[in-house]
Amino acid sequence: MITFWETGTTFTRLAEYQPNCWINLQEPTNEEVELLINSHNVPRDFIMDVLDTDERSRIEVEEDNVLIILRVPLSNQNNGIPFITVPLGIIFTNNQIITVCSRRTKIISSLIKAVNENKISITNPFDYVLRIFLISAVWFLQFLKEINIQTALIEKDLETATKNKELHRLLSMEKCLVFFITSLKSNEMVLAKMRNGRNLQGIEHDEDLMEDVIIETKQALEMANVYSDIQSGMMDAFASIISNNLNVIMKQLTAVTIILMIPTLVASMYGMNVPNGFEDSHLAFGYVISISIILVLIGIFTFKRKNWF
């Protein structure tokens, strides 16, 4: 979907393209990609790089075109991994600002909401980039908190688990953290290049805003590293717990099997076609049942003392 926005102290959506407006492209169709390439002279390689879900964060300069790619978090609840990251491209070409993402994310809508509510004036084009980096870091922190909450719920289930389902859920959380850590590290490298002006001539940006972005990004990276270390230890610990829980169940089943074997053993002994002292007694059945019950009670009492039940 392609949208056009008038920039200033607020963002106003336009019905059609106007010169020097902000062009936002999310979940683009092939027709929209071709329109962007042909009408706004955007290099095809730039667009294809952004639409590649595995593309790394980087800055690329080609003549008067500047491409900045950062990785942004995305909620992916319908898949096996609840949170992933995707590339978001910011293109400066002919005094035109274009943002492109292969998926619909909350980053752009959050940027528009923040600017409109706080009346933030963005005069420097590279401040768009910093604002997007800042909102991206905030969403990383938000998703990290959700990962921590889900991990705590999985931890409660793992305490009594005997199957691997909970471990698989925990593994998916760990995969999310790996994606987050990798993306945040590459974003941090792009920020460092922007701050140093490397590969870009004449960059001017709000130093205070840059400092805020770096702080938020580092905080998100540190939180992701801490959560990842904790989950790595939890995976090993709970794998042992599941094995131990299974051993306890097997021990209990063994005890039950032994108890059930006692009446069978007694009945088999007195059911043999040999003299046993009870063959002429009309109370033989009662004696056999009584002996079985007494031995079963002794077995239960013994296993109770050994905490097998």
pLDDT at position 143? 92
User: CA torsion, points 108, 48, 43, 62, in degrees to nearest 10?
Assistant: 80
Residues 283 and 287: their CA atoms lie apart, in Å, by 6
Percent of the chain with pLDDT over 70: 88
Cβ atoms of 23 and 40 within 8 Å: the answer is: yes
- Res. 141 pLDDT band, cuts 50 70 90: very high
Collapse the DSSP code of 23 into the 3-class scheme (helix H, G, I; strand E, B; otherwise coil) and give the result.
strand
Mean pLDDT of 25-54: 84
Q: Which amino acid is at 211?
A: E
Residues 41 and 94: their CA atoms lie apart, in Å, by 9
* Sign of the dihedral defined by the CA atoms of residues 170, 176, 178, 184, in that order: negative
pLDDT at position 160? 66
pLDDT at position 186? 92
CATH 3.20.20.70 describes domain 2-245: no
pLDDT at position 78? 65
Residues 201 and 274: their CA atoms lie apart, in Å, by 106
Res. 203: pLDDT tops 60? no
Bridge-based pairing state of the strands 22-26 and 2-6? antiparallel
Residues 174 and 196: their CA atoms lie apart, in Å, by 33
Residues 163 and 167: their CA atoms lie apart, in Å, by 8
Q: Which residue has the higher pLDDT, 145 or 307?
A: 145
Q: For residue range 72-83, what is the model confidence (pLDDT) as tens digits?
A: 999 876 667 888
Mean pLDDT of 190-213: 73
Collapse the DSSP code of 61 into the 3-class scheme (helix H, G, I; strand E, B; otherwise coil) and give the result.
strand
pLDDT at position 88? 92
Mean pLDDT of 252-279: 78
pLDDT at position 237? 72
Res. 200: pLDDT tops 70? no
What tokens were used for 102?
Answer: 């292969």
Q: Which amino acid is at 253?
A: L
Q: Which residue has the higher pLDDT, 220 or 43?
A: 220
pLDDT at position 2? 86
Pick from 253, 252, 256: which is nearest to 296 by CA?
256
pLDDT at position 165? 74
Tell me which range, 94-108, 155-169, 199-213, 274-288, is most confidently predicted by mean pLDDT. Answer: 94-108
Residues 284 and 160: their CA atoms lie apart, in Å, by 46
Biggest CA-to-CA distance, the chain = 113
Q: Which residue has the higher pLDDT, 3 or 8?
A: 3
Q: Where are the domains of the chain?
A: 2-245, 247-305
* H helix runs in the chain, sequence order: 30-40, 44-51, 106-118, 125-158, 165-196, 207-270, 284-305
Determine which of 80-84, 253-257, 277-281, 304-308 has the lowest per-residue pLDDT on average.
277-281
* Sign of the dihedral defined by the CA atoms of residues 71, 72, 76, 80, in that order: positive
Which CATH number is 247-305's, of 1.10.150, 3.30.9, 1.10.8, 1.20.58?
1.20.58
- Res. 184 pLDDT band, cuts 50 70 90: very high
